[in-house]
Structure 1
Amino acid sequence: MLKLKTLVLIVLIGFGCEEKPVAVNFQQGYHGKITEGQSKLIHTEAKGFFNQTQLSIAIIKNGQPEFYGIKIENDTLISVENQDRVFEIGSISKVFTATLLADLSLEGKLNLNDPASKYLPWKLKNEPKFTLQQLSNHSSGLPRLPDNLILSEVDISNPYKDYGEKKLGFYLTEQLELKQNPGLKFEYSNLGVGLLGYILTKIDSSSYEEMLQRRITQPLQMESTTIEREKVLNQLVKGLDVEGQVTPNWDLNVLEGAGAILSSTQDLTKFALAQFKPDNQEITLTHKKTFSITPYEKAIGLGWMIENKKEGKWLWHGGGTGGYTSSFTLDLERKNAVIILSNVSAFSENAINISNLGSRLMEIIED
């Protein structure tokens, strides 16, 4: 049984499987598109995963995308065409929420520095003054999760399912305590971005799904990106838990802005290519630094993590749920990107391999 204290949601830690020998034939069908270095790297990072694990990988070099898919069957890595298959993308959803925030800002429906309380139907306990921007860049002072989302009392396989508007309102009015004053410190908060998504639905007078479709996915023709799972069931790759068994999908309920989106690498490639176009003003706004995490290397824009690397400046976000782990890395100047979606549980000790693979593939194409 998982120990509850280890289940800090959407962090790549947990329990996993013992590494086992895995045969490789996943170069078949790529006709030279995958390099020997990429092949070895993918094998190294994927060989410890369970049977029925899938990785869907998009590599964009100088604005030109290529897709690679692998699946483990009978302890063998095989190549698959899975760029149209759908996975939970977890916290990469936060970048979409930030994009919605930027779009509404450019329309004049809000100001990034507006206090969040301006748009909420409740009077917040102690009347904190965190802003919409601080919710997006994790400097609001809010904790990672609300105190009334109690892990010992929820279904760990779907922990947010019953956390609705009523519980959020009770927490904000009766239990809210900031970890520090707004604007002082970066403190990653699923609650903060989930609250931001909720606020945006109030400002726009529409559901999160309606905003997502109207403002992002329809303009970019991202036909498999949604928070409504029933729309993509025929494309959905089943998530696996820390023991390699099929696990339920997550329902984020009122905190959907923090991690509810499902998508494919085909769709996320369209989103990545849109990042390279400076005339997409709402997207460009999310790239601008809003808060320093470390003095020199790490910062955050709106949603996107910003990291200064020797290869150049990267934008990055990862994601994880009970059955999935994902990674999304961009170099805007060189128009390079690596996107990885997988059905590896974020609680698996091997989940870190996904972000490692993303970084190392990016280093290869930047070299």
Structure 2
Amino acid sequence: MRFFFTLIALIIYGCGESQTKTTTINELGVDNLISKKQANLIFEKTKEFPDHTEVAFAFITNGFTEFYGVKRANDSLINIENNTSAFEIGSITKVFTATLLANFALENKLKLDDYIHNYIDTPIKGDKKLSFKQLSNHTSGLDRLPSNLDLISNPNNPYKNYNEEKLEDYLSNELFLSQQPGEKYEYSNFGAGLLGYVLCKIERTGYQNLLEKYITSKYEMKNSTTIRDEIENILVKGRDVGGNETSNWDLAALVGAGGMLSTTEDLAKFATAQFDESHKELKLTRTKTFQISDITDIGLGWHIINRKSKAVWYCHSGGTGGYSSLILLNPDTKNGIVILSNVSAFHPKRNNIDDLGFDIMKAIDEEYTK
């Protein structure tokens, strides 16, 4: 299931051959920082990444957060402090777009089952009726990406030139649905980006202003933004599959699908806020809206994993050309894990970031239930 969660423009990159790493587990500092089991997991899942790879962690246990970071240098894995370093978070942005939607619904600016055509001036081809909820839970029938998005001309920053004019032209002239809205889950970056666009039109402001008004100011997320210049001094450089510096991504009109940058410190604040039932907008985003499979549901943005242990985890991962990320929560135990990295979403071992998060989360939950 986790392949659903990654924001990847469908471009093929040459991956090359993996280098053999010589890191030993003893190079990781574990005293008073992380457990030996966690250190082993981190070592195993990061040993095949190239030099200059940096990974930042927030471990949340019973609502208490500890930070940890590692970096590959000269084929060694060393400890660093990077909880205030910024990374692109890719598709985790969709959870924030869903949170904006929840705020709008609670303020009676819209209803989740309302159709978006009633809120924008742009005509929709064929008078297709798409609801806010369907855009947020990926049941709209929209393709993953719009057909007029050119991924070839600027492969290192593929969304940069996809402006509102192109989005509106697609809605009016090229819109295609692979199914009837509401019938089936099919992950759509365009759907989430369109949702962000419509919310901005309703409020007559930009996405960044909405973030500040409803989320980042409320939860004191001082280094979470869509404006890269604001955090340039703390930004970790993105890396391609070979470990070379690569371009950051600008999501333009589709910013609501994956345009945010953040830190583990900020995302840990957002994560622990999920454990406070008084935050009604956060609770609404985690409310089941559609069943994907026997073990997976979706709320608004969040994927809901129903584990055999009866634990319920809320998850989203993300990826761009130079970064991969994961956030995973269990509100019942108040446990969670946040991972930010400059591992390219195109790296052949990129899924190790997701696997690492799930393995650590399992270990945290098991320790909690002892």
- After TM superposition, the score normalised by the length of structure 2 is 0.94
Q: Which residue of 2 aligns with 1:347?
A: 346
Aligned-partner Cα distance in 2 for 1:170–1:149: 11
Q: Is the alpha carbon distance of 1:45 and 1:264 closer, same or farther for their aligned partners in structure 2, counting shifts above 3 Å? A: same
C-alpha contact 2:51 2:72 (8 A) present in aligned 1:
yes
Aligned-partner Cα distance in 1 for 2:10–2:104: 27
Q: Is the alpha carbon distance of 1:247 and 1:139 closer, same or farther for their aligned partners in structure 2, counting shifts above 3 Å? A: same
Q: Which amino acid aligns with 2:179?
A: Q
Q: Mapping of 1:85-104 within 5 angstroms? A: 85-104=85-104
Aligned-partner Cα distance in 2 for 1:12–1:331: 35
Asked if 1:118 is matched to 2:125, the reply is no
Aligned-partner Cα distance in 1 for 2:334–2:62: 5
* Partner SS, residue 139 of structure 1: coil
Q: Which residue of 2 aligns with 1:302?
A: 300
Gaps of 5+ in 2: 1-6
Q: Is the alpha carbon distance of 1:228 and 1:27 closer, same or farther for their aligned partners in structure 2, counting shifts above 3 Å? A: same
Q: Which amino acid aligns with 1:275?
A: Q
Q: Which residue of 2 aligns with 1:150?
A: 150
* Partner SS, residue 350 of structure 2: helix
Aligned-partner Cα distance in 1 for 2:297–2:15: 30
Q: Is the alpha carbon distance of 1:260 and 1:10 closer, same or farther for their aligned partners in structure 2, counting shifts above 3 Å? A: farther
Aligned-partner Cα distance in 1 for 2:359–2:12: 17
Q: Which residue of 1 aligns with 2:357?
A: 358
Deviation at 1:14, TM superposition (A): 7.6
* Partner SS, residue 126 of structure 1: helix
Q: Is the alpha carbon distance of 1:131 and 1:272 closer, same or farther for their aligned partners in structure 2, counting shifts above 3 Å? A: same
Q: Mapping of 1:206-355 within 5 angstroms? A: 206-294=205-293, 296-311=294-309, 312-355=311-354
Aligned length: 358
Deviation at 1:16, TM superposition (A): 5.9
RMSD (Å), alpha carbons:
1.6
* Partner SS, residue 180 of structure 1: coil
Deviation at 1:162, TM superposition (A): 0.3
C-alpha contact 1:94 1:193 (8 A) present in aligned 2:
yes
Q: Is the alpha carbon distance of 1:10 and 1:64 closer, same or farther for their aligned partners in structure 2, counting shifts above 3 Å? A: farther
Q: Is the alpha carbon distance of 1:273 and 1:64 closer, same or farther for their aligned partners in structure 2, counting shifts above 3 Å? A: same
Asked if 1:179 is matched to 2:171, the reply is no
Q: Which residue of 2 aligns with 1:27?
A: 28
* Partner SS, residue 144 of structure 2: coil
Deviation at 1:204, TM superposition (A): 1.4
Aligned-partner Cα distance in 2 for 1:126–1:41: 51
Deviation at 1:32, TM superposition (A): 2.4
- After TM superposition, the score normalised by the length of structure 1 is 0.95
Q: Is the alpha carbon distance of 1:191 and 1:316 closer, same or farther for their aligned partners in structure 2, counting shifts above 3 Å? A: same
Q: Which amino acid aligns with 2:115?
A: P
* Partner SS, residue 65 of structure 2: strand
Deviations 1:248-292 (A, max 9, x none): 100000000000000000000000010000000000000100011
Q: Which amino acid aligns with 1:217?
A: T
Aligned-partner Cα distance in 1 for 2:219–2:22: 38
Q: Which amino acid aligns with 1:27?
A: L
- Residue range with higher mean Cα deviation, 221-230 or 203-212: 203-212
Deviations 1:307-364 (A, max 9, x none): 1013400000000000000011000100000110000000111110000000000011
* Partner SS, residue 299 of structure 1: strand
Gaps of 5+ in 1: 1-6
Aligned-partner Cα distance in 2 for 1:16–1:328: 29
Aligned-partner Cα distance in 2 for 1:59–1:39: 12
Deviations 1:182-218 (A, max 9, x none): 0010000000000000000011122100110111001
Q: Which amino acid aligns with 2:100?
A: L
Aligned-partner Cα distance in 2 for 1:158–1:11: 11
Q: Which amino acid aligns with 1:206?
A: T
Deviation at 1:119, TM superposition (A): 1.5
Deviations 1:110-138 (A, max 9, x none): 11111011122211111111100100000
Deviation at 1:19, TM superposition (A): 4.2
C-alpha contact 2:11 2:151 (8 A) present in aligned 1:
no
Aligned-partner Cα distance in 1 for 2:10–2:89: 11
